[in-house]
Structure 1
Amino acid sequence: MSVGTAEAVAPGWAEFGRCLRFHRRRAGLTQLQLGRRVGYHHSFISRLEGGLREPPFDLVDRLDAVLGTGGRLAAAVASRSPSPEAPGPRLTAPTLFSPIPGADAPGDEASGEGPLGDEAAPAARLWPARLPAEGLACPLHGRVGCATPDRSSAADLLNDLAGLTGLSGLSGSYERIGAAGGAGGTGGAGGGAGGAEAELLHGLTAALACLIREAFAHVTDAGADTVERLLRGVVRWADAVNATGRLPFGQLRLAAQYAQVAGRLRMERGQSGVAMAWFGHGLRWTDAAQDAEARATLLSDMSTLVRLDGDAASMLGYAQAIGAVDAKRRWMTTLADLYQARAYALRHDGDACRRHIAMARRRFARLDDRDRLEAPWLSGAEGVLRLESAIGGALRDLAAATGERAVARRAIEATARSYALLPPVMHSTRLLLTLRLADSWACAGDPVAAVTLALPVVEEAVRARELMITVELRGLHDRLAGRWGDLPEVREYRERVRGVSE
């Protein structure tokens, strides 16, 4: 794309691009190799070198470290002359704030209804008293244990955000929500957020925790629509803060959290394009807010999404990018190994798959207090559940690709260990692992055991709306019908599936 298109940014980045190209070539790296080391696609590195993109906040230091420049790239950024029409620390609005997927229904902002109207409001019993909740930390203060506003107070704050769902109400709503924060806030990571602004950020995080509990227990269009409507409000709020010359770190971190949930819900509904769009926006917001933890988990979801589309090469690229976010954080490198193992399984590379499984187990055993603080879902019984589930999925994929029954038996063992740790509330995960366990038995050459496991849940699986369950069921069905279609047990299974489908 040429510099004269919408891809171009404010003048002044050409010198940075030339400096980056010089040091990359001096280091003997291709754009692809450099991109993998710093966790970005090679096309983004190409745009940086062409002066077409402003480098994200946290990327420049990583580039300096990887290329051994002695800080020359950071110096090139610091010496860039600011554009006269954009004084202060404003972010590149076209890059960060538009376009975003979807639009609110006409008249929403005039209806008097807040983003969480009576029908969409989360139940009071789900409202968390403190953050983190559902893995969501406070976007301003991290995991220090911020109290959330009570649900009734939060409803008033959220109704103020309703004005941000329509651009006509932007100025007035921001004045009510953020003026106090901009004039007398606490500064720091929140960029000056305080008072009502901090309360709204806390309330929106609590609301998202409730929506996660509801939406992933019962995948519905209403839950996804509510998440996206609130997300659009948060993005417009961030844009309004940015327009004042104050960096909207808290808003961008919150927007990235919402974007990840929105992408996951779209992915579960099989809407890959919109899911990837939300994940992509989330990545940009995490870069601007310097949130490495969120970047790693977003890349994990992107790796899953392309796997469901059957794109092993892209899955491997995203998996490697997870480890490049911060190689000193073992939980990130553990995730990177697990996703790479599955990508290599899809590429029929058994040696690489097994090597990354072994590395993931070693790194998981060495997780420290910092890892457990940043990724509590990867510690204790839940962490073992996730580890064994990922390993079981990789080994099943490898067995399906290579026909190795010994690998399938290892997949059975790993999946069974994961299944045994499932709490009763994780119903969808139980259904998914049941199908994976049945498929692993099919890959191991025992179709009767596979059918015995699958028959009790086949009706629920056929009617499920979750894409990952549908993909597991499709793989099991194709293996059983393709290899043992004449067996009485398999005929019974196929009749049951046909009856439910009709």
Structure 2
Amino acid sequence: MLGAPNPVELPDGGSRQEFGALLRHWRRHAGWTQAQLGAAVGYDHTAVSRLEHGARRATPRLVRQLDELLGSSGELTRCHARAESAEGDRPALPPHLLRPPLPPGAGPVPAADPADPCPATLPDHDVQCPLHGATGCHLPPPATALALHAAFCADPAAPLDTDTVHALAAVLGAQLHSAERALRERAVGERGPGTVIEGTLRAVVARLADAPTRHRRVLARLAAEYSHAAGSLRLHGGRPATAMACFDRALGWAALAGDATTQAAALSDMAVLGLLDDDPAAAGDYAREIRRAAPGRPWSDALATLGEARATALAGDIRATVRHIGRARQHLDRPATVGTEDHVPWLAPAALRLRVESGSSAALRDLAAATADPRLAHRALTAATAALDLLGDGRLPAARTMLTVRAADCHLCADDPHTALATLAPVLDGAPLPALVRHELRGLRDRLTAGADRWGPAATEAAARLGAAI
């Protein structure tokens, strides 16, 4: 049962909170309100509130004023000196980690929709607890989580306690579920989840500049997960440049927090963006960084090797691609490391195998399209079918649509346009499609157009429909 808010469960590395508590004590002892004290020293009452919560640094001149006004006989000055000494041992953050990857939004952060159910436990929807990692924890009730999230976003001086951290993670999980539902319903233009995620990310980053040492790691981990989620939504919405900015910043915050799994997720998506940009060298570099971010883990070797397979396929290197795919599958058979913080849903054996089969199908399809080798097309189709079987019904609708399109493309590369068009038919129902699916369809459309003379009017008509869909 939830009781009074608990402090964030990280070692205390400074005493700014001690100064804030002492300031609150002497203000109350003198009978002043925050507004009265703020007016006396030329500050707004919210600034006094931030000082008392340890969320703002006081200048020496201000501390001397407070000492005189409140009659603390130099106690505030001495406490402030201890706080400054502790702060001096804290290295400054790089400037780019103190800025969100997106420009400021208009107006306050919108409230999360109560209709989007918050998870009861973590990990959930690939969101880990910023305090407990993948070990699992219980979250506040939905109404409490939404209220704590709203308070955090509205008031820069609101306390950062355990329940608030859990609430921010719960709201992120709820928004990702909402985004997945929007993709399932083909409502890819929906801005609700993205607006809440990006607004919350700005609120989290605003805390980092003045955060005490014990809060830095948890705020950085929250910023990394929110930034990665924002980038994923931007990528699905067809905005690769801003998606890359979000992934790059997520990488920096995840490194600051020691969060290897979010680093791997961001690097995987950056490798995909390299492929979309027709840049196999960059895609391969990002993939290899996954191995460096999480050395010695079978899952990081599998993801890195798979990314290298995608890159070498785009470069047309058949031998290297087949070798990388074989190694990626071998990594899946290695025993998982027990007792680490890596055990999150998207790294579970079945989910990782789904990623490897999906990536293998894409790499082999790219080779088949470049070489016109039907044997490679059939191998790509086998991998795409295996990925669809692993996916199951009702899960990850965007991934299912993507794999269906890829299977159709494999049939086309195997010179079987009739089966290709039959496989593709459910996708072309006129509804909007995510950007990654539209990118996949462009290659298929080009191949239909190139083979229309051999394949007849049906191919020409399908190419025209694809042109309208993308």
Counterpart among 442, 447, 457 of residue 479 in structure 1: 447
Deviation digits for residues 469-494 of structure 1 (CA, Å, limit 9, x no counterpart): 00111111110111234513213323
Counterpart among 375, 378, 387 of residue 409 in structure 1: 378
What pairs with 1:59-458 in structure 2 (closer than 5 Å)? 87-92=88-93, 94-98=95-99, 100-106=101-107, 108=108, 115-117=109-111, 120-123=112-115, 126-163=117-154, 170=156, 173=157, 176-178=158-160, 197-218=161-182, 219=188, 220-241=190-211, 244-246=212-214, 248-370=216-338, 373-425=342-394, 426-458=396-428
**C-alpha contact (below 8 Å) 1:136/1:205 kept by paired residues:** yes
Deviation digits for residues 361-392 of structure 1 (CA, Å, limit 9, x no counterpart): 11111142538953432434433322211111
Structure 1 residue 95 displacement after superposition: 3.2
Unmatched runs of 5 consecutive residues or more in structure 1:
1-82, 109-114, 164-168, 179-196
For 1:382 and 1:122, the matched residues in 2 are separated by 29
Structure 1 residue 215 displacement after superposition: 1.0
For 1:358 and 1:249, the matched residues in 2 are separated by 38
Structure 1 residue 116 displacement after superposition: 4.8
Write the letter of the residue equivalent to 1:428: A
Give SS of 1:374's match: coil
Deviation digits for residues 242-270 of structure 1 (CA, Å, limit 9, x no counterpart): xx454510110011001101011111112
Write the letter of the residue equivalent to 1:237: R
In structure 2, relative to structure 1, the CA distance for the partners of 1:383 and 1:92 (3 Å cut) is closer
**C-alpha contact (below 8 Å) 1:331/1:367 kept by paired residues:** no
Paired position in structure 2 for 1:46: none
For 1:343 and 1:365, the matched residues in 2 are separated by 23
For 2:301 and 2:145, the matched residues in 1 are separated by 38
Paired position in structure 2 for 1:17: none
In structure 2, relative to structure 1, the CA distance for the partners of 1:366 and 1:214 (3 Å cut) is same
**C-alpha contact (below 8 Å) 2:305/2:328 kept by paired residues:** yes
**C-alpha contact (below 8 Å) 2:201/2:223 kept by paired residues:** yes
**C-alpha contact (below 8 Å) 1:89/1:247 kept by paired residues:** no
Structure 1 residue 272 displacement after superposition: 1.4
Structure 1 residue 312 displacement after superposition: 1.1
Structure 1 residue 96 displacement after superposition: 1.4
Write the letter of the residue equivalent to 1:100: P
Give SS of 1:459's match: coil
**C-alpha contact (below 8 Å) 1:116/1:155 kept by paired residues:** no
For 2:262 and 2:352, the matched residues in 1 are separated by 18
Give SS of 2:209's match: helix
Q: Which has the larger radius of gyration?
A: 2
Write the letter of the residue equivalent to 1:444: A
For 1:233 and 1:265, the matched residues in 2 are separated by 18
Give SS of 1:418's match: helix
Give SS of 2:278's match: coil
Deviation digits for residues 409-447 of structure 1 (CA, Å, limit 9, x no counterpart): 100111011112222223222211111001011111112
Give SS of 1:133's match: coil
For 2:320 and 2:418, the matched residues in 1 are separated by 31
**C-alpha contact (below 8 Å) 1:385/1:421 kept by paired residues:** yes
Structure 1 residue 456 displacement after superposition: 2.8
Q: TM-score by structure 1 length?
A: 0.71
Give SS of 1:248's match: helix
Counterpart among 484, 489, 493 of residue 458 in structure 2: 489
Identity %: 34
For 1:331 and 1:498, the matched residues in 2 are separated by 38
Structure 1 residue 333 displacement after superposition: 0.5
Give SS of 1:123's match: coil
For 1:372 and 1:199, the matched residues in 2 are separated by 21
What pairs with 1:455-470 in structure 2 (closer than 5 Å)? 455-460=425-430, 463-470=431-438
Give SS of 1:445's match: coil
In structure 2, relative to structure 1, the CA distance for the partners of 1:399 and 1:122 (3 Å cut) is farther
Write the letter of the residue equivalent to 1:391: S
For 1:499 and 1:266, the matched residues in 2 are separated by 22
Deviation digits for residues 115-170 of structure 1 (CA, Å, limit 9, x no counterpart): 452xx42525x32111111121111111222111111111221122123xxxxx53
Unmatched runs of 5 consecutive residues or more in structure 2:
1-83, 183-187
Give SS of 1:421's match: helix
Write the letter of the residue equivalent to 1:230: T
For 1:154 and 1:378, the matched residues in 2 are separated by 27
For 1:216 and 1:91, the matched residues in 2 are separated by 38
For 1:93 and 1:339, the matched residues in 2 are separated by 29
